[in-house]
Structure 1
Amino acid sequence: MALQWLILSYVVAAEVAIAVILTLPYPMLLKKRIVSLVSLILKPAASVVAFAGFQLLDIYWKNEHRLTCSSEVCTATERDRSEKAYYKAQRNVVLCAAGILLYWCIFRICKYNKDLEHLEELEKSHKQE
């Protein structure tokens, strides 16, 4: 069970690195190559959105069917375990949301750069006419 969260955390860390690389100022030729490389990676990386969405559904289902320990019969250990599970679930929700949001940001950054490149080509062609 922990392996899927480890994988998702590595993917989110990689998305952060890609987003930082995309937003740094580079010369135009290098920027175009980086954007084209990341654009090629985006389609296979879209599985991150489905994986994170499935994990969110799993967290929701487990939260709805979790045994609560709120009575006087519960021991301190059971209460601590329940609270720890609740905080882990919150952390995992943030991780899933970050994965989806970062994927969307990378997608939009690449689309923005491609649109900008297309507009520059149009401007260049209009100047030549």
Structure 2
Amino acid sequence: MALQWVILAYVVAAEAAVAIILTLPSPKALKSRIVSLFSLILQPALFIVPFSAFQLLDIYWKNEHRLMCSGEICTAAERDRYEKSIYKSQRNAVLCAAACLLYWCIYRICKYHREIQSMEEVEKRYKDQ
């Protein structure tokens, strides 16, 4: 299971880097090439949404079926292990949410850029007439 979280962490880091690259100011020609490149990558990268959803379901299932450690029966080590598993679950849930949110942000940035380009082309045609 740890490999899945490592993959998800790398995907989130890559999405964050792409979002930063897309939002940096750059010349129009370079910006349009960057946006077109990342637009081509967006469709195959959509796998991250169902993957994150599956991971969230896994976190929910494990949370519902986790043994509770609250009371005087538990030792200190058991209580620490229980709290550590809760913190890991919360971290992983934030990671899944960040993956979906960053994917959506990249998609919207690319879409806005394409809309701006089409509006600029329409404006240019009206000025030429």
TM-score range relative to shorter protein: over 0.9
Look up the equivalent residue of 1:78 and give its one-letter code: E
Give the structure-1-normalised TM-score: 0.99
**Whole-Å separation in 2 of the counterparts to 1:32 and 1:20:** 15
1:85 counterpart residue number: 85
Alignment partner of 1:66 is 2:54: no
1:38 counterpart residue number: 38
1:5 counterpart residue number: 5
**Whole-Å separation in 1 of the counterparts to 2:60 and 2:83:** 16
Alignment partner of 1:101 is 2:104: no
Aligned counterparts, 1:8-19, within 5 A: 8-19=8-19
Q: What is the alpha-carbon root mean square deviation over aligned residues?
A: 0.5
Give the structure-2-normalised TM-score: 0.99
The alpha carbon displacement at 1:71 in A equals: 2.1
Q: Secondary structure at the match of 1:100?
A: helix
| Aligned sequence identity (%) | 68
Q: What is the CA deviation profile of residues 89-113 of structure 1, one whole-angstrom value per residue up to 9, with x for unaligned ones?
A: 0000110000000000000000000
The alpha carbon displacement at 1:73 in A equals: 1.1
1:24 counterpart residue number: 24
1:124 counterpart residue number: 124
The alpha carbon displacement at 1:41 in A equals: 0.2
**Whole-Å separation in 2 of the counterparts to 1:75 and 1:99:** 36
Structure 1 runs of 4+ aligned residues shifted over 3 Å read none
The alpha carbon displacement at 1:2 in A equals: 0.5
The alpha carbon displacement at 1:72 in A equals: 1.2
The alpha carbon displacement at 1:77 in A equals: 0.6
